[in-house]
Amino acid sequence: MVNEHKVAGYENFKSFMKDFKSNGAAINILFTGEKDKNGVSWCPDCVSAEPHIKNALEKFADKNSHFICVDVGDRATWKDMNNPFRKDKDTHLMVIPTLIRYKHPQRLEGEQLEKEDLLEMFFNDDD
């Protein structure tokens, strides 16, 4: 089973990644909007993508890989153009949801995360 982790906020994300040991396994990171007490994100695109991503994780992701779900904050925090997730050279987010392979070129954004063929390519691409 894929190793799943949850992190909320930029500072927590940076701290988590600084000490994270993947033991050579792929690190896939999903950036998504904060969820309410019912587990539903304020971001409708994130809500639409979630079941597709979960399905792809089960079907295509390497069982030794890591999947980190990062909460970028509430709507106001995300919409701030000075949001550090937008400016960080390792994340450089423009939209959410965004799925990246950490420190590699693989990236899917927005509606791309609702397409099974793209998710399969993402999770099966070893570089």
The question of whether 69 is a catalytic residue gets the answer no
What is the band of 110 on the pLDDT scale with cuts at 50, 70, 90?
Answer: very high
Catalytic residue chosen out of the listed positions 26, 27, 43, 99: 43
Q: pLDDT tens, 14-36?
A: 999 998 988 888 999 999 999 99
Domains contained in the chain, number: 1
Quick check: 42 pLDDT over 60? yes
CA distance 45 to 96: 7
Residue 15's domain comprises: 3-124
Catalytic residue chosen out of the listed positions 27, 46, 53, 68: 46
The more confidently predicted of residues 24 and 125 is 24
pTM: 0.93
Could you tell me what percent of the chain has a pLDDT over 70? 98
Q: What is the CATH classification number for the domain harbouring 49?
A: 3.40.30.10
